[in-house]
Structure 1
């Protein structure tokens, strides 16, 4: 799927798409199954729970403090549950798709069952890693905002709020820097069978000296994925509003509790299609960026060529496929 040498930005993006094309049954099958499970659960949650939540108080300047707090609590609970479901599904898809990409780099096919067998033992560690990284960012920003929070508690709310806002800015910068530094921890965990903290340290080592390049590739991939997702899901959102009668009015009112089943189902179909296409691209770019960093720092291309039995590379006997070899091995 990729040339066995240091990769350019275009080759990383093209490699992710080429993997999806070459192994479309496995790749799209994994992302479709995961997206269906996620969106079906979310739609049921929206239809049975969110439909009864009244959040109009959030947009009502005359609402009482208690009404605003109740609406905010209900919105956060339902949104948090939906977000957790999406997070779990994304973790499973990312883990399996990373294994597919690692085989594709060597030109080897992999079935959905094989991807699951390879990924399943490390899902809990990947979940822990995925939860730990944003927690680190929140702690950093919280510490930076702490002086302002203390001033606000002491009685000077306006001054404290200003100090907290100023403090959050450097905290956000440090958090972004660390998140990029640790952005290759997931493929390191999956492919090298590392623990959570060793994967973070491994990512920091691989990214060292190339922070801006890694940031640029990840940012470009995120922008492209967002554009593709928007192109796919936006028509379904308009269609959902059109088919759900007064859905447009309900949408503008900002109260999801007034949406109907038609809106939830049609928009959910759009989300399924969007996730099916974008999940493999995101996972592929991260995995190939990890491979590229190992090629540049550790000469992984030579190991990959040997594992793939490329003529002219010693170390692997002809006719011995070395099926267990992956870019993380």
Structure 2
């Protein structure tokens, strides 16, 4: 207890009037006469009656505490925070984890963690499935139908040309090989175009889902169509850059005729390609959402990824593992059933000459599995990329303020709870 002069004692205490060695009359008289004012120890101003209660006395009910309004963002947290006497900064007293943030759409408007990015991608696919799933279903179906036709007739031509019992000469074998390569390249180009179209439209759908807005297939197509040529150019440029990196690192071994040097160059190319792929992984959403050029989107991605490469790598790698596992559990059983049907029709001879895998049953069942897998996994991969882009801009450029204004949230921002200054 502080006995300094001029300090009011917080309420009466039984020991205050019975201090050992206190002068007579210091603690009060039998009639309850208060001690004289202006003494050397105690202040004349004492707390009002009823201000303090002894232990066991019932306490009056406390007024209800004011809670933050639903949907309010960081601006609703003033110096005292959402709980009386508690501070509202992340990790402050009385808080666990991150404070609530405005969530007009599928993600809260603040820096995101891994679970929120994955949940945002899945939530968009679940909430807007009428728009998302038809896009991926149509693209996957077209790609797989063409792929089945190419595999059926291309592999059949190769099997005939390589048959040791046939009388085909070298020219026929080369013609069959050339035709097969053309068909495979055409199939790859169709897959590339389908993937670009789906990625562009899904990017627009996810960007609107962040704001809590829906999007029809027609709206997504109209928004994505002007940027499709640039997205194609970006994809081809990245592919060409990757090929050039590999050729440059393999060139010394090829020129010197050394398999060891070529192998070292190939091993060095792998981590370099991974690093470049992650460095420019956000170029696609930057190009689509900022309506920028190819080179500008590459520079934007490089700046956004800088300092967060390992974090983006971890999220991207985990997403790849999840989608690969989902695809495997869908495709492999159907492929196994198709091979079993092919073996039942052609026997062991079909397994030896490779025709068991090129029959209609295994090709169709494998394609059905691929269609289902791509319909599910393509939105997840595109959604994670878009949300990583949004997350990096929130962290570096305070994009959450712009998104809040676009979503129509009022009084959102870090300074909305600041007291008014005199003017």
Shorter-chain TM-score above 0.5 = yes
**1:200 maps to 2:298:** yes
Query: How far apart are 1:73 and its partner, in Å?
Result: 5.5
2:117 and 2:387 in contact (8 A); partners too: yes
Deviation at 1:117, TM superposition (A): 0.7
* The structure with more helix, counted as a fraction of residues: 1
Is residue 186 of structure 1 aligned with residue 291 of structure 2?
A: no
- Single out whichever of 203-212 and 29-38 deviates more from structure 2: 29-38
Report the number of matched residues. 302
Distance in 2, Cα, partners of 1:203 & 1:167: 27
Aligned to 1:320: none
Asked if the contact 1:144–1:168 (Cα under 8 Å) also holds between the matched residues in 2, the reply is yes
Query: What corresponds to 1:326 in structure 2?
Result: none
Aligned mates of 1:190, 1:281 — CA distance in 2: 18
Residue in structure 2 matching 1:297, options 396, 404, 409: 396
Match of 2:221 in 1: 116
- Checking the alignment, whether the CA contact within 8 Å between 1:42 and 1:85 is kept in structure 2 is no
- Contact 2:212–2:407 (Cα < 8 Å) also in 1: yes
Asked if structure 2 preserves the Cα contact closer than 8 Å seen for 1:54 and 1:257, the reply is no
Alignment correspondent of 2:136: 31
Residue 76 of structure 1: CA displacement? 4.3
> Which gives a bigger RCO, structure 1 or 2 (Cα 8 Å, sep 6+)?
1
Structure 2, gaps ≥5 residues long: 1-105, 164-169, 414-423
Q: Relative to 1, partners in 2 of residues 1:189 and 1:257: Cα closer, same or farther, differing over 3 Å?
A: farther
Residue 261 of structure 1, CA deviation: 1.6
Residues 68 and 51 of structure 1: CA distance in aligned 2, closer, same or farther (over 3 Å): closer
Alignment of 1:41-190 (within 5 A): 41-54=146-159, 76-152=181-257, 160-190=258-288
Match of 1:259 in 2: 358
The whole-number CA distance in structure 2 between the counterparts of 1:254 and 1:273 is 30
Highest CA radius of gyration, 1 or 2? 2
Secondary structure class of the residue paired with 2:213: coil
Q: Per the alignment, do residues 250 and 66 of structure 1 end up closer, same or farther by CA in structure 2, a change over 3 Å counting?
A: farther
Output aligned runs, 1:238-249, within 5 Å.
Answer: 238-244=336-342, 245-246=344-345, 249=348
Answer with 236-245 or 123-132: which moved more. 236-245
Quote the residue 2:95 is aligned against.
Answer: none
Stretch of structure 1 that moved more, 71-80 or 138-147:
71-80
RMSD over aligned CA atoms reads 2.6
CA offsets 1:271-312 (integer angstroms, 9 cap, x no match): 111111111011101001100010111000111111111232
Which SS does the other structure have where 2:159 is aligned?
coil
Residue of 311, 317, 325 corresponding to 1:227: 325
